[in-house]
Amino acid sequence: MKFLTEFRNPELAGRLISQIHRQSQTKARFMEFCGGHTVTVFRYGIRQALPKTLEMVSGPGCPVCVTANADLDKAIALSQISNVIITTFGDMLKVPGSHSSLQEARACGADVRIVYSTIDALKIATENPDRSVVFLGIGFETTAPTVAASILRAREKGIRNYHVLSMHKLCPPSIRAILDSGEVRLEGLICPGHVSTIIGSHPWESVALDYRIPCVIAGFEPLDILQCISMLVAQVEKREARVEIAYRRGVRPEGNTEALRIMEQVFEPRPAQWRGLGEIIGSGLKLKREYEQFDAELAFNIATKPAQEPEGCICGEILRGVKIPLDCALFSKVCTPEHPIGPCMVSSEGSCAAYYTYGGSIDG
């Protein structure tokens, strides 16, 4: 496949790994912030291939993992309204809320459908004019513009039974919250590739400056990750703290201006609850007033009980990079992919799921 297989070239990968081993003298800890990066690192066994000087930590880049119970509970409550069809990305189906999950709600009769795109959700709305379709809006800046576009299309085509429950979040504020907490010592950031496709490299400039930390924007193939690590190591060795785009084929410094325009036309920032990080100002997205007819929070009376966090679950600390799944008393004993307690296990790119699926010790 073009532009995929070339970036998985094993020969080049092997040589890059050797190069990283030669380059890296200083101990350094890098945070890979994006769930997609976590999956690539694990799936290709990259962690094990790196020199002992380098440590990789997973940050809160999995939008499912950081969705607070209160938001999940709202989605589940919506699913139980009799006329409502919930349309959602597959990632959300098994995430446990305070009391239940969408999967369980579906088993009890709720109409919950997995879609690949908001375009499919719009289609379901058009085909079911007497039902209300609610799309669960999760994802960061990569996904928010696509959801904004679907709202514009709904308005243009006069589709009145389409609504969005916006649980979208913004990346730079959360990275800042982690760095501000000072809990975890980091020497480099592997910045999310496709979020940066939308927002460009400029938003990371102030992060590099304020926190004096190298920020390299990486793609998602194994060679992309290795290139990024090599670039971070080079900066660490030279004591630099700059923003660099490794993923040059997918990211322009100015980002995708049309996508940003559309996102800003429909959404505005608001505080958001992040699992494990608490409330972060300006890190969530809400539909603007002129689009409120599409806002599921306003269209429906959603009554939820106060949200509860599961006991013993340390997803929050894992998301902040202060602990690893192996530190959790519940990991693989009580909390497993088939019976997940927290979202880090549910989402296939959550740290706990990645550790469980890929990270077992080969000799153990």
Partner 1 sequence: MTDKILLAHGSGGRLAHQLVEREFVKALANPLLAKLDDSAVFEIEGRLAFTTDSYTVSPIFFPGGDIGKLAVCGTVNDLAMSGAKPLYLSLAFIIEEGLSQKELSQIVVSIQKAAQEAGVKIITGDTKVVNRGSADRLFINTAGIGIIPEGVDISGSNARPGDKVILSGAIGEHGIAVLSRREGLSFSTDLESDCAPLAKLVMEMLAASPNIHCLRDPTRGGLATTLNELATQSRVGIMIEEEKVPAREEVLAACEMLGLDPLYIANEGKLIAIVSAEDAERVLSAMSRNHYGKEAAIIGEVTTKHPGRVVMKTSLGTTRIVDMLVGDPLPRIC
Partner 2 sequence: MCLAIPALIKSITDKEAEVEIGGITRRISLELTPEARVGDYAIVHTGYAINTLDQEEARETLRLLEEIATVGEEAG
Binding residues for partner 1 (CB under 8 A)? 1, 4, 8, 10, 13-14, 35-36, 42-46, 48-49, 62-64, 87, 89-91, 93-94, 113-116, 120, 124, 138-139, 143, 222, 336-338, 347-349, 356-360, 362-364
Q: Quote the least distance from Cβ 355 to partner 1, whole Å.
A: 10
**Residue among 263 and 341 whose Cβ is closer to partner 2:** 263
Task: Give the nearest distance from C-beta 263 to partner 1 in angstroms.
Answer: 16
Q: How far is residue 135's CA from residue 132's CA, in Å, rounded to a whole number?
A: 10
Q: Measure the CA–CA gap between 295 and 63, rounded to whole angstroms.
A: 20
Residue 149 binds: one of partner 1, partner 2, none (C-beta under 5 to 8 A by kind): partner 2
**353 to each of 39, 46, 312, how far by Cα in Å?**
10, 17, 17
State the number of binding residues for partner 2 (CB under 8 A): 57
Nearest to 280 by CA among 189, 170, 119: 170
Smallest distance from the beta carbon of 165 to partner 1, in angstroms?
A: 16
Question: Rounded to the nearest whole angstrom, what is the least distance from the CB of residue 18 to partner 1 in the complex?
Answer: 12
**Region 278-317 residues binding partner 2, contact defined as CB under 8 A:** none
CA dist., res. 41 & res. 340, Å (int) = 22
Choice from 250, 269, 310, 337 touching partner 2 (CB under 8 A): 250
Q: Residue 195's binding partner, choosing from partner 1, partner 2, none, with beta-carbon cut-off 5 to 8 A by kind?
A: partner 2
Amino acid in position 132: S
Segment 47 to 76, residues that bind partner 2, using CB under 8 A: 61-63
Q: Which of 157, 160, 212, 249 binds partner 2 (CB under 8 A)?
A: 249
Question: Would you call 34 helix, strand, or coil by DSSP?
Answer: coil
Task: Give CA–CA dist 167/70, Å, rounded.
Answer: 11
Tokens of 314: 């340390």
Residue 159 near residue 274, CB atoms below 8 Å? no
Instruction: Give which of partner 2, partner 1, none residue 357 binds (C-beta under 5 to 8 Å, depending on kind).
Output: partner 1
Q: Is 12 in the site for partner 2 (CB under 8 A)?
A: yes
Contact between 299 and 293 (Cβ < 8 Å): yes
x/- contact string, 115-154, with partner 2 (CB under 8 A)? Answer: -xxxxx------------------xxxxx-xx--x--xx-
* Strand duo 84-88 + 28-32: pairing: unpaired
Categorise residue 101: left if φ over 0, alpha if ψ from -120 to 50, beta otherwise.
Answer: beta
